[in-house]
Amino acid sequence: MAAAKKPAMKVAPTVDAYIAGFPADVPLALSRCAKRSEPQRPPHIGLYPMLRGSAADEKKLAPYRAAKATARLPLGTPIPVGVVKKIVAVRLKERRTAAT
């Protein structure tokens, strides 16, 4: 017997669209959590999950890999837009493939 296929998550086209998809009380709760956690927040932006790429991709991503599945972009340094675009593009492709 084949395992049941996990339903695909809906991919929002923008962050605003993603947030708008929640019930009305959720964005306010998220905002409150963000304000309360501000003093403890680490000085970086995290991307989860981190992709596994070709050897060339791995070399580009290595300075940002904080853990097996985490990319960490330190605040106060230029954001590596090319690296972020690569991570996002691969993750979107993976999610779209999983949805079909």
Domain assignment present for residue 73? The answer is yes
Q: Is the peptide bond before 63 cis (omega within 30 degrees of 0)?
A: no
Structural domain of 24: 11-41
Asked whether residue 51 falls in the same domain as residue 37, the answer is: no
Asked whether residue 76 falls in the same domain as residue 56, the answer is: yes
Count up the domains in the chain and report the number.
2
Q: Which helix (H) or strand (E) holds 87?
A: helix 81-99
Domain assignment present for residue 4? The answer is no
Tokens of 93: 């492709």
Phi, psi of 14 (to 5 degrees): -140, 165
What is the pTM assigned to this prediction?
A: 0.50
Per residue in 60-73, pLDDT (tens digit) is 888 888 877 888 88
Per residue in 9-65, pLDDT (tens digit) is 677 777 667 767 778 877 777 667 666 766 666 677 788 777 677 778 778 888 888
Asked whether residue 22 falls in the same domain as residue 55, the answer is: no
Domain assignment present for residue 3? The answer is no
